[in-house]
Amino acid sequence: MQSGYAVHSLQANLSVVLASTWMRLLTISRYKGQLISDIVVPIVMASMPILLGRATAGDQAGQIFEARTGTANYVAYMLIGSSVFTIVSSSFWHIANWLRWEMQTGTLEALYMTPTGRVWIAAGTALYSMLRSTLSAFVSYFAGSLILGVNPFQGELLMALVFILVGLLPVYGMALIFGAVVLKLKEANALINLMQWLVSFLMGVYFPVAILPPFFRFLALAFPPTWMTNGVRSALLGVGYFFGVWYKDLAVLWVFLFIAPLAGYFIFTRVETAMRRNEGLGQF
Amino acid sequence: MLNELKQNPPPTLTEMKPLQGAEALVSSLLAACKKELITLARYPVSFVASFAQVFLIVAIFSLAGQMFSQPGSASLNVNGVVVYGFILFIFLSDTLWTIGANIRQEQVQGTLEQLYLSPANKFANLASKIVNLLTLTMILSLISMGVMSWMLGGLPFHNPLLGLYIFVMTLSGVFGFGFAFAALTLRIKQTAETLANLLQFAVMILCANFFPFSALPEPLRMVSRLIPLSYSVDAFRSTLMGFPAGFPELASIEVELVIVTVFGLLTPLLGYWAYIRAEDAARRSGSLAEF
């Protein structure tokens, strides 16, 4: 215990991040079914509104959809929505599930006794989650496009990639806030289920947020994934940026990029400190 | 006290036998149900979140449907198809998570092995999970029906008695499927969550809960015909919609009723049998506490 001091050097912290990421990648490599599920689920999610649309509008589905959204390519529209949703949902899911799992198995409190910064362990989990979900979303989009018969290489692919990469950090900042909520309320499964549908609703997974009532539209526009999704759709399908040009929409995402991670860090550390002082982290 | 204990010593571990008979089963079942309901009450956020979730699901699918509908041409049949399919879907989804994932949760928390060391009837523990389902999901499905009816502008509602019969048989079959899934959970452990996720999505597509079967490509429709739950979905919504033209889609209602009845009567027995075998295997191999 004499040498039990906290590790603070950048090299040591990076080592914690990489060790945490590596451990999780190693674990997930043992569960190949989960990796397949990551790819299949977005395709299935996109298929439901596509089939519903075909059953409702028949041959006119593309025409009606274009009048509502600005593109007749409803298959790619839904696939983009569900693929970006996978990235966003995974970030929340992985952070919340990590905390909840460690709480239930009784290792969270033990982890907090180690001489490392918790945020660096969380950063390792976030890095793992980014790698896993982004790769799955890409594979899912390309595989889904091929299965459902649309061209995955249309539009400005690089621009779409930029929107995704810039949007990742704000998303993980928000995931950290969600992690704090799970730490406090403990009911991870219920919160994750609710969050998944709330995220789908706010980011417009199957529809443009312009059709939402004013209050919900305001909430949706304050939600970084909405800008991510619309940016990718505009780059690939030309549905139109919120501010008309790509750089203004991207600038908004940059603002989120600075605010969301800081807010996430601040809220998470506050909740964590309060819990350690009060009931502790071992309860579930 | 000491003399009493000397005269009637408690049974040793090897002398202990499981509590048997109807009275013991009812008593264990009531105790297990009470425990489930107390646990449910300890997580109020979960309760509220489930209700909020229904509103969001309804909103998302309604808005997705709007993207393909022309003003003034809303089809009542499509509303019925989506709503009644959705109700059966939430029961299946909750069964997979409540029965299968619950067993897993007890494994992770370390209470499953202790529960199995007690002389209480093991079926009571499994059956008590259904109480959760029947109370919470039933309320949820009734609310979702009301919300959807309001959001989509009315729902067709015909043949309530026949609809109720199909619903009860379907629930019985779904619970049996849940028992079998719990058995699988004991074997495959962590993979069960992934499988539950995949099964949910597979059912959404193959059992056509959110669209008519006619929207499926022919090869997928052939797979749908091999799944009894598809006939339940088809029969349930066709009946409540008053058998509009083209419904039921997979077979005549008489044939579908036979399939649904067999599904409802046979699946719980098969599911329970599978569970008993898996439980026995887990106890013999000592893997009840492994995760």
pLDDT value at position B81?
83
Write the ipTM.
0.83
User: Chain B closest CA to A155's CA: distance in Å?
Assistant: 22
pLDDT value at position A127?
93
| pLDDT above 80: residue A35 | yes
Tell me which chain B residue has its CA closest to the CA of residue A188.
B46
- Beta carbons of A206 and B68 less than 8 Å apart: no
Kindly report the backbone phi and psi dihedral angles of residue A138, in degrees, each rounded to the nearest multiple of 5, phi listed first. Answer: -65, -50
pLDDT value at position A2?
43
Tell me which chain A residue has its CA closest to the CA of residue B194.
A34
215-234 in chain B: CB under 8 A from chain A:
215-216
pLDDT value at position B269?
94
Contacts of A40 in chain B (CB under 8 A): 198, 201
Could you give the CA distance from residue B153 to residue A61 in angstroms, rounded to a whole number? 22
pLDDT in tens, B23-74: 888 888 888 888 888 877 887 777 788 778 877 887 788 788 888 877 665 5
Tell me which chain A residue has its CA closest to the CA of residue B213.
A55
Task: Please give the interface size between A and B, counted as residue pairs whose CB atoms are below 8 Å apart.
Answer: 135
pLDDT value at position A7?
57
Nearest to B229 by CA among B201, B258, B203: B203
pTM of the model: 0.77
| pLDDT above 80: residue A3 | no
pLDDT in tens, A36-66: 888 988 998 899 889 888 888 888 889 999 9
- Beta carbons of A49 and B67 less than 8 Å apart: yes
pLDDT value at position B182?
87
| pLDDT above 60: residue A6 | no
Closest Cβ opposite residue A194 in set B53, B101, B197:
B53
What is the mean predicted confidence (pLDDT) over A234-238?
A: 95
Could you give the CA distance from residue B72 to residue B82 in angstroms, rounded to a whole number? 19
What is the mean predicted confidence (pLDDT) over A114-131?
A: 85
pLDDT value at position A1?
41
pLDDT value at position B252?
95
For residue A49, cis peptide bond before it (omega within 30 degrees of 0): no
User: Which one has a higher pLDDT value, A110 or A51?
Assistant: A51
- Which pLDDT band, with edges at 50, 70 and 90, does A279 fall under? low
Could you give the CA distance from residue A40 to residue A33 in angstroms, rounded to a whole number? 10
DSSP per-residue codes, chain A: -TT-PPP-SHHHHHHHHHHHHHHHHHHHHT-HHHHHHHHHHHHHHHHHHHHHHHHHHGGGHHHHHHHHHS-S-HHHHHHHHHHHHHHHHHHHHHHHHHHHHHHHHT-HHHHHTSSS-HHHHHHHHHHHHHHHHHHHHHHHHHHHHHHHT--TT-S-HHHHHHHHHHHHHHHHHHHHHHHHHHHHH--HHHHHHHHHHHHHHHHTSSS-GGGS-HHHHHHHHTSHHHHHHHHHHHHHH----TTSSHHHHHHHHHHHHHHHHHHHHHHHHHHHHHHHHTT-SS--
User: Which one has a higher pLDDT value, B132 or A267?
Assistant: A267
- Find which of B47, B48, B68 to mutate to test the A interface (most A CBs within 10 Å of its CB): B68
Contacts of B208 in chain A (CB under 8 A): 51
| pLDDT above 60: residue A211 | yes
pLDDT value at position B190?
67
Contacts of B58 in chain A (CB under 8 A): none
User: Chain A closest CA to B64's CA: distance in Å?
Assistant: 6
Residues in CB range of A26: below 8 A, 6 or more apart: none
pLDDT value at position B1?
55
| pLDDT above 90: residue A134 | yes
For chain B, residues with pLDDT lower than 50 are: 76
Task: Locate the domains of chain B by residue range.
Answer: 24-66+75-285
Tell me the percentage of chain A whose pLDDT exceeds 90: 50
| b/e burial code for range B192-212 (CB count within 10 A of at least 16 → b) | bbbbbbbbbbebbbbbbbbbb
Nearest to B184 by CA among A33, A45, A38, A105: A33
DSSP per-residue codes, chain B: -HHHHHHSPPPPTTT-----SHHHHHHHHHHHHHHHHHHHHH-HHHHHHHHHHHHHHHHHHHHHHHTT--TT---HHHHHHHHHHHHHHHHHHHHIIIIIIHHHHHHHHT-HHHHHHSSS-HHHHHHHHHHHIIIIIHHHHHHHHHHHHHHHT------HHHHHHHHHHHHHHHHHHHHHHHHHHHHHTTHHHHHHHHHHHHHHHHTTTTS-GGGS-HHHHHHHTT-HHHHHHHHHHHHHTT--TT-SSSS-HHHHHHHHHHHHHHHHHHHHHHHHHHHHHHHHHT-TT--
- Beta carbons of A65 and B215 less than 8 Å apart: no
